[in-house]
Chain A
Amino acid sequence: MKQAKYGLLLYIFLALPPVASLMESVMIVHMHMQLTLLVLSGFLMGTFFKQRFASFFNNWNQSGVPGVILAVVIWAYWMIPRIMDETLTMHSIEIFKYISLPFLVGVPLRDSWKKVSYTVKHILYIFMTINFIVMGWIYVAINQQICNNYLLVEQRTLGFGSFAFAACMIIYGFIWIFSERKEHQQSS
């Protein structure tokens, strides 16, 4: 339950208007940090929802796969460049961001994570890595401004940032395959 409290605190912090506007003023911070932290807040709050609505999760997310699919679909939606614009100009989308990312990505992911097999986890990991690579490529290669609210240089920065995260994920993937997986298997 401690985790849920931390998650709620993080959520409230991220919703504070000065924090939200500071994070949304820099494209890469908006997309890579704010969105991720919102998911994290939901992930932490997930312990509360799992306990409070145990039967709901058991009925609707028994295998964990529906939760993962929901998380992936919502996450993919937030990767569409025009949504960045809309969230800055339309209040309804901004509100949707603060509901969808914690509660439709973070919470179901928390419930699913222990239920799904390693194969699903690996697929999700590979999906996220490819997602970062494709985003990086789009944002670096396109010479036109694809978000009205952000400059071309910020767009490129986001692209390179995505490449950097993809590189981190690939490196960790290799470390996992060649070393930590074996240790994990040995210790469990």
Chain B
Amino acid sequence: MEQTIKETIRYPKKLLGVNPNDAKVSLAYLSVAFISLLIGGLLGLVQGLERAGLIELPSWLNYYQVLTAHGLLLLVVFTATFTVGYQFANLSHSFGGLLPKVRTLAWVGFYLMIIGVGMVVTMIVLNEASVLYTFYPPLAAHPIFYVGLVFVVLGIWACCLGVFINYRHWRKNHPGQVTPLLAFFAMGVFVLWFFASIGVTIEVLTLIPWSMGLVETTNVMVARTLFWWFGHTLVNIWYLVATSAWYVIVPKIIGGRHFSDKLIRLVVILLVILNIPGGFHHQIIDPAISQSIKFLHVFMSLSIAVPSLMTAFAMFAVFERTGRKLGGKGWLGWLKKLPWGDVRFLAPMMAMLAFIPGGAGGIVNTSNQLNQVIHNTMWVVGHFHITVGISVVLTFFGICYWLVPYLSKRKLTPKMNKLGVIQTIIWTVGMMLMSTSMHIVGLMGDPRRTSDTTYGGHEVAASWIPYEMVFAIAATLLLIGVIIQVYAVFHMMFLSPKGQTEFPVAEPEEHAPVAPLWTERWGLWTVLLLAVIAMAYVVPIVDMIMNAPPGSPPIRTW
């Protein structure tokens, strides 16, 4: 008996999709993700209509409350829960099932996150935490809001621990082998997540006594720096999750093979090592960081463009190669051979295309002089609506159309596929309208994070109004998109016809060289990541602490 248990632990069978336990974990996370998307999306529409002056919120609900909830529910809860659900499914598929203790850790993480989100949302609803989704001081929320965030981080750490345990177990039992690509991506995502969350954890732990009145003041600059250590990295965690689907899933869906295994792993390693210091470009207009440090950080931020451009090259090479194999002729004939009618391809493809202007906008944000022009404007909001709203979220949506039916042992019907295509079109149009108008009106000076921008009817402010109307139209389209997507996900979870769905994992090209084993040196990558963090953060943080101005007391502006 004992021997059998040992064998099961050492060589778990391919359980995912058969064993309801692993699938249940992922489905639970995905359910929370899409409930959050529904609420967050609704709040987005409310915000868009209020901003355009088409509705006036009742006295018990203010714009900043809605903005905080919209940001946290979508940028933190939706993305985090989706990522965990998807990554654990990948891990289970790649490793032939999760270890029982890892599954337990995933559930622990789930409940910790639920408790945390419950506390955070309650405080926002009670109007005790309208601190925007960035939640750094001097705006002070109720202490329970920060405690809730601690629970969310603990939940993420439980999941990280689970992934690390499962990875080590697999490596121990497969000496001399590289891990399957999806599991490699999962390691990258959770290593990055763990180290990203350290910054925000230190910040939040200093804010709890401050918000309780036990400490009179806090160092705002340090808190902001620690927040962006996490905030910027979070963006790249989503990006890494999306690229896992682009590199490994999409080639299979289009009938091709994935690009060089070594290049893919190198992209993951580079994204993990170089990512965190990028947070400084969010602070380009902050005082207390010297010009030379900001200059050095431009390089650190732009270094992310290297793996991003490698990804762009690799993906389009795969598309062209596959298109030509399928009979595509001429310069662009191969494009016609791609399966545009398949939502599992269309959605991530739209996401990838949106990343071209999105990435270019990111370079604008990173550049010192250009950032001075756009920093506090709607440009920035437009930027993250095109990057997160399309590049990340549409990839997530595309994943749902094979992952959810696979997990719930159902089929993706042609009807559901058609609905997905319609949803993708509505979403792309809505998000492009929203982000384009935001980018343009941002260049015209329209400020972000501001509920009323009429400025007494000034003519410059009046010129923004047509664009704000476009926000409202786009927000309406996006809510329709959200409703369709949420319907599709829960339909595929509970109502679609029973059957088998493929977990599409691309194979390498024939005779492709095996990825070198050195790519698996996660200990070394982690230490290099820490060294890069030290190089980036020691100078400014020591300066901020040693030359600190008087700290700020808690401020409540609402």
Given contacts A32-B535, A157-B538, A160-B542, contact A175 B526 (CB under 8 A): yes
The listed residue with most B CB atoms (<10 A of its CB), out of A26, A168, A180, is: A168
Size bin of chain A's contact surface = 20 to 34
| Contact indicator B524/A172 (Cβ below 8 Å) | yes
Contact of A161 among B168, B523, B526, B539 (CB under 8 A): B539
Residue of B nearest to A28 (CB): B539
CB distance from B548 to the nearest CB of A (A): 11
Q: Is B317 an interface residue (CB 8 A)?
A: no
Docked complex Cα distance between A164 and B171 (Å): 29
| Contact indicator A157/B542 (Cβ below 8 Å) | yes
Residue of A nearest to B530 (CB): A168
Docked complex Cα distance between A160 and B542 (Å): 8
| Contact indicator A183/B292 (Cβ below 8 Å) | no
**Residues of A contacting B538 in the complex (Cβ-Cβ under 8 angstroms):** 28, 157, 160-161, 164
Docked complex Cα distance between A167 and B292 (Å): 26
**Residues of B contacting A29 in the complex (Cβ-Cβ under 8 angstroms):** 296
Contact of B539 among A157, A165, A175, A186 (CB under 8 A): A157
Q: Is B521 an interface residue (CB 8 A)?
A: yes
CB distance from A27 to the nearest CB of B (A): 9
| Contact indicator A153/B292 (Cβ below 8 Å) | no
Given contacts A28-B538, A160-B538, A161-B539, contact A168 B527 (CB under 8 A): yes
| Contact indicator B527/A171 (Cβ below 8 Å) | yes
Docked complex Cα distance between A129 and B530 (Å): 15
Q: Is B531 an interface residue (CB 8 A)?
A: yes
Contact of B176 among A171, A172, A180, A187 (CB under 8 A): A187
Docked complex Cα distance between A164 and B531 (Å): 7
CB distance from A145 to the nearest CB of B (A): 14
**Binary interface profile of A, 156-177, with partner B (CB < 8 Å = 1, else 0)?**
1100110011011101100110
Residue of A nearest to B175 (CB): A186
CB distance from B526 to the nearest CB of A (A): 7
Docked complex Cα distance between A33 and B534 (Å): 12
**Residues of B contacting A12 in the complex (Cβ-Cβ under 8 angstroms):** none
| Contact indicator A172/B527 (Cβ below 8 Å) | yes
Q: Is A25 an interface residue (CB 8 A)?
A: yes
| Contact indicator A171/B542 (Cβ below 8 Å) | no
Given contacts A33-B535, A164-B538, A187-B517, contact A157 B175 (CB under 8 A): no
Q: Is A90 an interface residue (CB 8 A)?
A: no
| Contact indicator B292/A26 (Cβ below 8 Å) | yes
| Contact indicator B523/A157 (Cβ below 8 Å) | no
CB distance from A87 to the nearest CB of B (A): 19
**Main SS class of interface, B:** helix
Docked complex Cα distance between A183 and B171 (Å): 9
CB distance from A35 to the nearest CB of B (A): 14
Size bin of chain B's contact surface = 20 to 34
Q: Is B1 an interface residue (CB 8 A)?
A: no
Residue of B nearest to A172 (CB): B527
Q: Is B3 an interface residue (CB 8 A)?
A: no
| Contact indicator B524/A180 (Cβ below 8 Å) | yes
Q: Is B59 an interface residue (CB 8 A)?
A: no
CB distance from B389 to the nearest CB of A (A): 37
Q: Is B546 an interface residue (CB 8 A)?
A: yes
Given contacts A164-B534, A186-B176, contact A26 B526 (CB under 8 A): no
Q: Is B452 an interface residue (CB 8 A)?
A: no
Given contacts A156-B546, A157-B538, contact A165 B521 (CB under 8 A): no
| Contact indicator B292/A180 (Cβ below 8 Å) | no
Docked complex Cα distance between A29 and B175 (Å): 40
Residue of A nearest to B538 (CB): A161
**Residues of A contacting B527 in the complex (Cβ-Cβ under 8 angstroms):** 168-169, 171-172, 175
Q: Is B557 an interface residue (CB 8 A)?
A: no
The listed residue with most A CB atoms (<10 A of its CB), out of B175, B520, B523, is: B523
Q: Is B4 an interface residue (CB 8 A)?
A: no
**Residues of B contacting A161 in the complex (Cβ-Cβ under 8 angstroms):** 534-535, 538-539
Contact of B175 among A22, A26, A175, A187 (CB under 8 A): A187
| Contact indicator A26/B539 (Cβ below 8 Å) | yes
Q: Is A179 an interface residue (CB 8 A)?
A: yes
Docked complex Cα distance between A167 and B539 (Å): 16
**Residues of B contacting A156 in the complex (Cβ-Cβ under 8 angstroms):** 542, 546
26 contacts between A and B (CB under 8 A): A26-B292, A28-B538, A28-B539, A29-B296, A33-B535, A153-B542, A153-B543, A153-B546, A156-B542, A156-B546, A160-B538, A161-B534, A161-B535, A164-B538, A167-B530, A168-B527, A171-B527, A172-B524, A175-B523, A176-B523, A179-B523, A183-B171, A183-B175, A183-B520, A186-B176, A187-B175
Report B's interface with A, CB cutoff 8 A.
Answer: 168, 171, 175-176, 292, 296, 517, 520-521, 523-524, 526-527, 530-531, 534-535, 538-539, 542-543, 546-547
The 6 closest A-B pairs by CB, nearest first: A175-B523, A164-B534, A172-B527, A157-B542, A161-B538, A186-B175
Not counting A164-B534, A180-B524, A183-B175, a sample of 20 additional A-B residue pairs whose C-beta atoms are within 8 angstroms of each other reads A22-B292, A26-B539, A28-B539, A153-B542, A153-B543, A153-B546, A157-B542, A160-B538, A161-B534, A164-B538, A168-B530, A169-B527, A171-B530, A175-B523, A175-B526, A179-B168, A183-B171, A183-B520, A186-B175, A187-B517
